[in-house]
Chain A
Amino acid sequence: MSSNRMDNGAEFKVPIGPQHPALKEPISLRMTFEGEIIKDADLRLGYNHRGIEKLAEQKNYIQNLYLIERICGICSHSHTTCYAQGVEKLMGIEPTRRGLYIRTLVAELERVHSHLLWLGVAGHEAGFDTFFMYTWRDREVVMDILEIISGNRVHYAMNTFGGVRRDIDEQQKKKILGSLDLLIKRTDYYKKIGTTEPTFVARLAGVGKLPKEKAIALCAVGPTLRASDVPRDVRKDDPYAVYDEIPFDVCTANTCDVLGRTVVRIKELFECYKMIEYLLKNLPSGEIRVKAPRKVKEGEVVSRYEAPRGENIHYIKSNGTDKPERLKVRAPTLANYPATIEMLKKGFIADIPLIFAAIDPCICCAERMIQLVDTRNGQEKVMRMSDLRKWSLEYYKKNSIDSKNKEAIWPF
């Protein structure tokens, strides 16, 4: 961190965070400001280290499947799929085709619910609460679909080694396709929202800039990376499950800002719907799983998965017993932190909630304490995240959005 500079008294230091029980990586950000402008941001994790990697070495493979599921509540299926397909390779078993189709179906439904959730959060942080309420209401539709399939809304527990645990019947299929029509109709409306709500577009454009070269150098992943015009997607580059046989496109945007990240996620929603429809209509018949051995022979595997937030990677090393020698998990949010710091620099205090939300770390859902220290007189001001949000909305009411931003175009 560059600055404990107190000399000219023009800099503020603002610690943000750290506690949030819902995240694998609770985060504390220490920001330095000069006036309204963010000069520097610094990061500290470790407030809620759960020791899952250590714990995984003490549990057997099938127990770990349910442990891994609990790394995250939003992308629980991402972690189990990544882990399960790695262990399947080590075991030398081939999951059934029907199993893989159902696994992919749940993965795409999960992406839909995660992206709808994110759109709502983005709307909320931008002061567009109607949008937030709409998307979260529609998210219930996809949550219901997931409940129809798995019996659960959050931890689906669908994966097992060699396939999935629950089958889908004709009646469920019909129900899901019906709900899907509603979702497509609603998302079509969101697609048009930018043309009817130019202030929303103006608020997002130019915020949290992440140039293409920086995005690549800082190893960003997922929609954050794709919004900086880098068409990298594990589903296309390193196809797992059945992604090599279902039709979809990688969605990108070239504006490198929060607007781009919104656009990428809306585009991806449509790709998801396309895939879900294809998967349901082409669901092969047969068994949903094969029997898996208890012990795993010695070996190592690198398994990758495109979670809603980006590349998820597991490194699994086995030693011939029923417990892994080592399980390394890297969730996408960690990979996006260096890029987030880059995005925050040169931004405004009022943009912090929006930029935070844009990498989809669920941090802004939390009530967080913010301490503003005025270095000129040593006065401290404590702000909650919700107050910061309120303040940020006021700020933009007073200081009208740049005229440049008003010309920002909704690209649909």
Chain B
Amino acid sequence: MKDNEIIDKIKGSLKNKIAEITNPAARRIFLKVDKENLLSAIQYLKELGFVHLSTISGVDKGDVFEILYHFANESCVVNIRITTPRNAPKIPSICAIIAGAILYERELQDMFGLIVEDIPDPRPLVLPDDWPVGAYPLRKDWKFERPPEIIPGEE
């Protein structure tokens, strides 16, 4: 399937649920939808043959978090983009549709402090057990401070 055929099909099916659809490079489609329409967009993509979720990327954009779901099949990579406000960072879980998304959603919760609603397994995944609560390393306002070096026996 060519890129423009995929775009036409997505446009024909999702219609006004699409906020923006671009094709910046060959085999790369960026589809922006509202958070509420995420599940129906992913359901449609799955029917279209995009069954492989490569990963989920999060980006801290200040007032909002941007989340990208990278789907790939043999002809194209479709990236679904949603945003969620910083003060209410909630996104729906897509595990019911794509079972393999679980580790990526757990990673998002750890690294960005997003709340993935209805996630089948909400436990921490990538950060250590003694990691402080409420510290989300990939948020831009989180800065790493090296603990002061204490040399025993010195003042």
Q: Could you tell me how many residues of chain A have their Cβ less than 8 Å away from some Cβ of chain B? A: 36
B34 to chain A, nearest CB (A): 20
- Is B103 an interface position by the 8 A CB rule? yes
Q: Are A217 and B54 in contact (CB under 8 A)?
A: no
Q: Are A217 and B125 in contact (CB under 8 A)?
A: no
- Is B100 an interface position by the 8 A CB rule? yes
**B139 to A, closest residue via Cβ:** A54
Residues of A whose CB lies within 8 Å of any CB of B are: 43-47, 49, 51, 53-54, 89, 216-220, 232, 236-238, 299, 301-302, 304, 311, 313, 315, 317, 325-326, 328, 330, 334-335, 337-339
Q: Are A219 and B28 in contact (CB under 8 A)?
A: no
Mark the stretch among B7-15, B66-74, B82-90 that contacts chain A. Answer: B66-74
Q: Are B103 and A338 in contact (CB under 8 A)?
A: yes
Q: Are B125 and A46 in contact (CB under 8 A)?
A: yes
**A231 to B, closest residue via Cβ:** B74
- Is B127 an interface position by the 8 A CB rule? yes
A60 to chain B, nearest CB (A): 17
Question: Known: A326-B59, A328-B55, A338-B103. Is A302-B70 also a contact (CB below 8 A)?
Answer: yes
Tell me which of B59, B73, B123 contacts A317 (CB under 8 A): B59
Q: Could you tell me how many residues of chain B have their Cβ less than 8 Å away from some Cβ of chain A? A: 42
Q: Are A44 and B125 in contact (CB under 8 A)?
A: yes
A2 to chain B, nearest CB (A): 12
Residues of B within 8 A of A335 (CB): 54-55, 100
Q: In the complex, what distance in Å separates the CA atom of A53 from the CA atom of B112? A: 12
Q: In the complex, what distance in Å separates the CA atom of A21 from the CA atom of B138? A: 22
**A325 to B, closest residue via Cβ:** B59
Question: Known: A232-B74, A304-B72. Is A219-B27 also a contact (CB below 8 A)?
Answer: no
Question: Known: A313-B55, A326-B59, A335-B100. Is A46-B126 also a contact (CB below 8 A)?
Answer: yes
Q: Are B70 and A216 in contact (CB under 8 A)?
A: no
Interface residues in B116-155 (C-beta closer than 8 Å to A): 123-129, 131, 137-138, 142, 144
Interface string of B88-115 (1 = CB under 8 A from A): 0000000000111111100000110000
Q: Are B73 and A217 in contact (CB under 8 A)?
A: no
